[in-house]
């Protein structure tokens, strides 16, 4: 007997829609893969002639060499001087160093804040407050990076240059004050603890943070006059020989950290929220504190998702352009000092590509920088996926799943 559903017009219509949806999804996935492959092929085709033997060709060693004019090795990125008879000064080393330095400082700022916010909203915050706070934090990701770069380069950077002691005071004293505040919360009277609960900490902690920042700023002139003769910037320049620049790696890391926080927070919070609630509730029912529940129950389960969130944030930091372009000073330096400027691969491409002649050495060098950036982010995402799969497989084995 024939299946009656095969002659049903409604069934055939649904089947056609399902096939069309499957075809469109498959075509979209294949299109994405082909686009990525096409980008890689285009970059390779444009970069390979750079290493052909000839007048315009370069060697790989020239891209990492440091020819110095004063007898010392100096890594320089000066591709506009690549003319006949001129020593090549187009080392990619300072660009790679600037890219990694900016990403590292951004992750130093973003990871503790993003993971702390994710842990608090998934375990400590009430459902009603979480429903309001989580979308608000995720909307921060929609803020254009050029706005953050504008604020960092034209407002925050000059303020830090003029008020270095206040900035150092906030950076050093704020974490200490936060730890003291957390320890002092346990010693408060019981009625006050019931009023200032951890579930509503996102509300009453913000005024405390503002007061701590104001206190740190007010205390800065005191210890600056006691220990550094009233001028910390002059002491740093005389003692360590460091020139405090308005646009430096620390400003870039701070601004780019705030750009990376929403993405890491959203993915990490989803990973922690996906942990079955009965596990957390069971741990607390057996006498575990919420901190023990977080560190010993929820984090091991959500670790693959958290690691992926950090790696995606790192990829965003490596490929960021506008913040680095506007807040770094664009100085191709290879120094580990956070008060010096830097220059990244992405910012160099954005600045120099419109002025580079297509097919020239400068043009191909910029495409080589784009290829290096492409490979770096591709390898980072691949490594994140492999580690995430390995952690998930290890967790399944620890539970005894097949």
Provide DSSP, 363-399.
Answer: HHHHHHHHHHHHHHHHHHHHHHHHHHHHHHHHHHHHH
Share of the chain above pLDDT 70, in %: 88
**Percent of residues in the chain assigned helix, strand, coil, to nearest 5:** 75, 0, 20
Note the pLDDT of residue 265: 92
pLDDT of residue 30: 94
pLDDT in tens, 111-160: 998 998 898 888 877 787 788 888 888 888 888 888 888 888 888 888 88
Query: Which runs of consecutive H residues, i.e. helices, occur in 187-248?
Result: 190-195, 201-227, 232-240
d(CA 225, CA 237): 16
The answer to whether 149 and 141 are in contact (CB under 8 A) is no
- Output 380 or 112, whichever has higher pLDDT: 112
Cα-Cα end-to-end distance for the chain: 41
State yes or no: pLDDT of 38 exceeds 90.
Answer: yes
pLDDT of residue 386: 82
pLDDT band at 66 (very low <50, low <70, confident <90, very high): low
Segment holding 178, helix H or strand E: helix 164-186
Distance CA 36, CA 30 (A): 10
Average pLDDT value for residue range 286-310: 85
Residue count of the chain, please give it: 402
Q: How confident is the model over 190-216, as pLDDT tens digits? A: 777 777 777 667 677 778 888 888 888
Cα–Cα distance, 198 to 397 (Å, whole number): 35
Q: What is the pLDDT of residues 69-106, one digit of tens each?
A: 554 556 777 776 665 545 557 778 888 888 999 999 99
Going by C-alpha positions, the residue among 134, 103, 105, 131 that lies closest to residue 117 is 134
From CA 121, how far away is CA 113, in angstroms rounded? 12
Task: Give every CB contact of residue 293 below 8 A, 6+ residues apart in sequence.
Answer: 123, 280, 283, 284
Mean of per-residue pLDDT scores for the chain:
81
What is the Cα–Cα distance from 151 to 145, expressed in whole angstroms?
Answer: 10
In the structure encoding, which two tokens stand for residue 13, read together? 């219509």
**Does the pLDDT of residue 58 top 80, yes or no?**
no
SS3 per residue for 302-348: HHHHHHHHHHHHHHHHHHCCHHHHHHCECCCCCCCCCCCCECCHHHH
Inter-residue contact 305 to 340 (CB < 8 Å)? no
- The pLDDT score that the predictor gives to residue 25 is 93
Which residue from 304, 355, 334, 286 is spatially nearest to 100, judged by alpha carbons? 334
Q: Is the pLDDT of residue 245 over 80?
A: no
Query: How do residues 314-335 score in pLDDT, each as one tens digit?
Result: 888 888 888 988 888 788 888 8
Residue 178 above 50 pLDDT?
Answer: yes
Of all residues in the chain, the percent with pLDDT exceeding 90 is 10
Q: Is the pLDDT of residue 352 over 80?
A: yes
Separation of alpha carbons 309 and 194, rounded Å: 34
């Amino acid at each position: 007997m024939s299946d009656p559903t095969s002659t049903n017009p409604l069934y055939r219509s649904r089947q056609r829609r399902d096939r069309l949806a499957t075809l469109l999804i498959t075509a979209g996935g294949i299109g994405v893969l082909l686009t990525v492959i096409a980008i890689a092929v285009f970059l390779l085709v444009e970069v390979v002639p750079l290493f052909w033997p000839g007048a315009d060709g370069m060697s790989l060693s020239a891209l990492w060499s440091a020819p110095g004019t004063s007898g010392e090795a100096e890594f320089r990125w000066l591709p506009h001087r690549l003319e006949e008879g001129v020593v090549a000064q187009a080392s990619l080393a300072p660009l790679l160093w600037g890219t990694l330095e900016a990403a590292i400082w951004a992750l130093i700022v973003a990871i503790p804040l993003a993971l702390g916010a994710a842990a608090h909203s998934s375990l400590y915050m009430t459902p009603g407050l979480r429903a309001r706070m989580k979308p608000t934090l995720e909307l921060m990701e929609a803020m254009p990076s050029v706005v953050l770069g504008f604020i960092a380069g034209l407002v925050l950077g000059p303020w830090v240059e003029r008020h270095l002691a206040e900035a150092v005071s906030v950076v050093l004293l704020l974490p200490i004050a936060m730890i003291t505040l957390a320890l002092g919360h346990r010693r408060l009277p019981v009625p006050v603890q019931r009023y200032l609960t951890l579930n509503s900490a996102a509300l009453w902690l913000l005024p405390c943070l503002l007061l701590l920042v104001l206190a740190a700023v007010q205390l800065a002139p005191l210890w600056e006059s006691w220990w550094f003769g009233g001028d910390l910037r002059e002491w740093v320049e005389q003692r360590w020989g460091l020139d405090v620049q308005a646009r430096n790696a620390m400003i870039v890391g701070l601004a780019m950290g705030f750009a990376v926080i929403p993405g890491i927070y959203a993915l990490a919070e989803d990973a922690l929220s996906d942990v079955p609630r009965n596990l957390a509730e069971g741990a607390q029912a057996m006498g575990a504190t919420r901190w023990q529940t977080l560190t010993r129950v929820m984090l091991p389960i959500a670790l693959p998702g958290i690691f992926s969130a950090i790696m995606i944030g790192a990829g965003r930091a490596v490929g960021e352009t506008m913040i680095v372009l506007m807040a770094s000073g664009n100085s191709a330096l290879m120094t580990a000092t956070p008060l010096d400027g830097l220059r990244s691969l992405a910012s160099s491409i954005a600045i120099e590509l419109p002025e580079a002649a297509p097919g020239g050495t400068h043009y191909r060098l910029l495409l080589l920088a784009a290829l290096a950036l492409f490979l770096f982010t591709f390898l980072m995402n691949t490594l994140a996926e492999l580690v995430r799969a390995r952690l998930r497989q290890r967790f399944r084995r620890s539970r005894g799943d097949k």
